[in-house]
A and B are shown apart, each in its own frame.
Chain A
Amino acid sequence: MNALPLLATAGLLLSTLVATLAQCGGQAVAAIPPAQDPPAAAAPLPADSVRLLVSGSMHGRLEPCGCASGQLGGLARRMQHIGEQRNYDILLEGGDLVDGATELDVMKLYTATSILFQMEHPYDVLGVGQKDLLMPRAEWSEFVGALRTSSDSVPLVASDLVSTAPDWPARPFVEKEVRGKKVRIASLTLSLAAPDETLRLLPPAEAWATALKDADASTLRVLMLHCSDVTARALVGKLKPAPDLAVCMDPGYIEPSPNASLVEGVPLLFSGTRGRVLCDVRLSRQDGHPRVACELVPLAGSKTLPGGGGDPNVKEALLLHRRDVKEKEVLAHMMRQLPTQNGAIYVGSTNCKGCHASAAAAWEKSRHHEAWNTLVKAEADPKRYGWPVTAYPDCVSCHVVGFREQSGFASFAETPDLAAVGCERCHGPASEHVASQGKKQLGILGGVQASVLCTQCHDFEQSPDFLYLDKWKIITHGCEPGQKTKK
């Protein structure tokens, strides 16, 4: 194990305790693993290493949704941590701050960039992920690009994207001097989520070389990669000059690893997703070789303080965002925008009952039946949220049928029969099934596996104890006697 001077003192026990107490989110808390070098590097890191806080792929998770105890992450806890530490040299956010291009995503982007770049501890660099490019360019440029020429510009980096658009807000790299050492940070987006006539993608090796072209040999080179781990591992060894650190935003890595992989001598880290666990990285170079040690920073709250902890000013910003979403009626604007997956129309669970009495009876006893009421009660409880949960699209999405789909949930007043996790949430819109008197069978929506369908809502964060085989027993139901089901 590497013995970092900072951690190898008597302060280790205390800092671990402080950190772990901070992360007590209710259910559980991880003991912070010790910082470790990549396997090939055994000697202690020099004390003058550069300290970076690494994260990425926030995907619009401004704060934990709160529907399970012990959830990690959120910008308020993140900025509290940064403020407490006071000695991060570089704050790095990989990109994909939001998850799409809806009106809500635009508002989230505004809030996130305000918090990350306009408050007391502004981030030093923001990469451009593929999801970022889905954002309407005018909106994106407005928030991250409008201040480009001013002193408080958002340091947006996309080394392999060349744009013909005059308002393109990204630059090929960001460089920062830390105690006399230069650190240059580049980012490779590597692919476009959708065709864009104004954007051209440079080959990664060319983009990297261009970004590093005039850098001193002593400059520490950091690369952000928006790709799978397979692509990252294949790519980093081919880049010249070799990066001193590569950070991959593979969404499959929910949490960052406490250990960097060494890929042809290049330390490779994964940023994790949703900003739940940050990566506290010490980077240096010794004898021409990069040295990296990282320590995970899980961002948790206290079980006894719902919503407690976290930077209070950031919490204010998030609360304003939530209220703004309600005042602007964003939920109503987002509803019924997309076609249903099978082209049929939602009919509501009441219509299913006539032929599927026993299944309906099983459903009515389940918490799925109460899904909308769960939101209503949570909103009414001042100890839980303190903001309009039933008006926030992210929350509503898992508590109704046909979220955003045509003929799906519109509002509780307009579509009360779709205000729950009803039959059609899993089985799909049933109009054709009803019209054909059951001859046109329904299955699992979109043909996905049941276990995958469930985890659209019961994911690792919202249902940390969810195991499909266990939970299916709770809601199990089948066909009525004499009915057949499609295999």
Chain B
Amino acid sequence: MRAVILAAVCAGLVAACSDSGPGPVPQGPAKRPTLPALEHDFGIIPHGEKREHEFELDLRKLGEPIVPLRVHFDCSCGLAEMKLRHRDGRERKVDGNPSADQAASPDETLIVRLVIDTNGKEAVDLPNTPSHGFIVLQPTCDLTGNLRVNWPIKVTFGIDAPVVLRPFAAFDFVKVPLSGTGELITELRGDEAHPGLKFGPVTTDDPRVSVAIEPADDGVVLRARCQPGDLGNHRAIVSIATNLATGYSVHILATWKTVPDLEATPVSKISFLADLKRAQNAAEAAGQFVLVTDHDQRRTPEFAVHQIVAVDGRDLTKSFEVEITPIPGQERQHRLLVRYVGGLTEAVRGTVVLTKDGARGPFLPVDLVVFPKNS
């Protein structure tokens, strides 16, 4: 049946090739047939297991050679690959090149192999869910790619994890300042089919992340702690063994970013264009801000301006007005807004230096870059 449908589609494509004749190749998207999808239902896959399926497309009956170019899955739900299998069993890869030697020969079958591997997925149930993909086919007579057809694929699968993780199946500590630690809690228990499941021991691949297991009503509470480590983004895997006979372990991804205690975000720089002949009005300066945060809970959250200085050491205090205002709901964060008030004749690069405690600091430098703009 599939071969018949494919034959009909490709017959249309071949006709389109023929119609183009010796003249200019038709440009623009061709009217493409809406094809019935190739379908497969993997059913519910136990978490930690892998499933494979091969679609076989018999291309032998096609008059015009067709090049299978690539296969794509929209949901990134599995690994899809294509190959051409000769009837003697030899196989060759499809390399995506629409050249005649990549077309399926009359002795070859197109194999589309799908692999759903739940090993790397979160231990979270997934109801049976359709996922969409397509195979890209091109007749060899099509020199422009305009006659390509996307043959839809519909794959359905779900996942059954033996455990329930609530509320989180991943630990995102977000920001961990150098002076602090991160802590998150989530609950872990066996699902309805696995009541009374036992958990432990816990291992992590990064010593900065530790997880304590604490007993709870019908499972355990996982208390995850994160030490900051060096500045920047980090990730770790936490593995929790179970007493399931299969040797199943629960894997939880932990991510965080270690940040300095004094931080200007999202970029530690305020740069803008200004007419240097006059002071900016409030509306012009409205977007010239960064967020400044003191993450160290031992201090009060306020900042003060220590100096505004150019890279050549000039004092720029008289050229800029600086506002530091608290942000409602963000106890440790302020908005640092800079407005040009005049006095410059050329572009300037400098720094607004904030301080926590006068000349003793600590200090938070924020780059300041102003370019001249004609009003």
Contacts and interface: CB of A to CB of B under 8 A. Distances in A.
A230 B143 contact: yes
Contacts of B172: 302, 305, 308-309
Interface of A: 14, 16-33, 39, 70, 72, 79-84, 86, 114-115, 118-120, 142, 146-147, 150, 228-230, 233, 252-255, 257, 259, 261-263, 276-277, 298, 300, 302-305, 308-309, 311-314, 316-317, 320, 324, 449, 451, 460-461, 464-470
Given A14-B205, A72-B76, A449 B122 contact: no
B291 A316 contact: yes
Nearest to B252: A21
Nearest to B115: A31
A69 to B, nearest CB: 9
Contacts, number: 215
Contacts of A147: 271, 369
Interface string B174-214: 11000000000000000000000000000001000000000
Given A261-B95, A465-B132, A17 B119 contact: yes
B61 interface: no
Contacts of A16: 120
Contacts of B168: 302, 304-305, 308
A83 to B, nearest CB: 3
Interface in B85-109: 93, 95-98
Interface in B144-185: 144-145, 152, 154, 157, 165-170, 172, 174-175
Given A83-B233, A311-B257, A29 B79 contact: no
Interface of B: 31-32, 34, 36-37, 50, 70, 72-79, 81, 93, 95-98, 115-122, 124, 126, 129-132, 136, 143-145, 152, 154, 157, 165-170, 172, 174-175, 205, 232-235, 237, 251-253, 255, 257, 259, 265-267, 269, 271, 273, 287, 291, 349, 369, 371
Contact of A262 (B95, B124, B143, B234): B95
A20 B31 contact: no
Given A30-B77, A70-B77, 19 more contacts: A20-B121, A21-B121, A24-B121, A27-B129, A28-B116, A33-B79, A86-B232, A255-B72, A257-B96, A302-B122, A302-B253, A303-B122, A303-B124, A304-B122, A309-B170, A312-B259, A316-B291, A460-B132, A464-B132
Contacts of B118: 29
20 contacts: A14-B205, A16-B120, A21-B252, A28-B76, A28-B77, A28-B129, A28-B131, A118-B269, A147-B271, A150-B369, A252-B145, A302-B122, A302-B172, A304-B122, A304-B124, A311-B233, A313-B257, A313-B259, A467-B132, A469-B36
A357 to B, nearest CB: 29
Contacts of B166: 304
Given A30-B78, A230-B143, A449 B32 contact: yes
Nearest to B75: A464
Contact of B37 (A29, A81, A469): A469
A369 to B, nearest CB: 23
A302 B235 CA distance: 14
B98 A461 contact: no
Contacts of B50: 31
Given A30-B78, A311-B257, A449-B31, A14 B237 contact: yes
Given A20-B119, A257-B70, A31 B129 contact: no
A465 B257 contact: no
B255 A309 contact: yes
A317 B267 CA distance: 8
Interface hub of A70, A229, A320, A467 (most chain B Cβ within 10 A): A467
A277 B72 CA distance: 12
B165 A83 contact: no
Given A20-B120, A120-B232, A27 B131 contact: yes
Nearest to A270: B96
Q: Which of A142, A233, A316 has the most CB of B within 10 A?
A: A316
B76 A313 contact: no
A254 B72 contact: yes
A253 B150 CA distance: 12
A317 B266 contact: yes
Contacts of B369: 147, 150
A309 B73 CA distance: 23
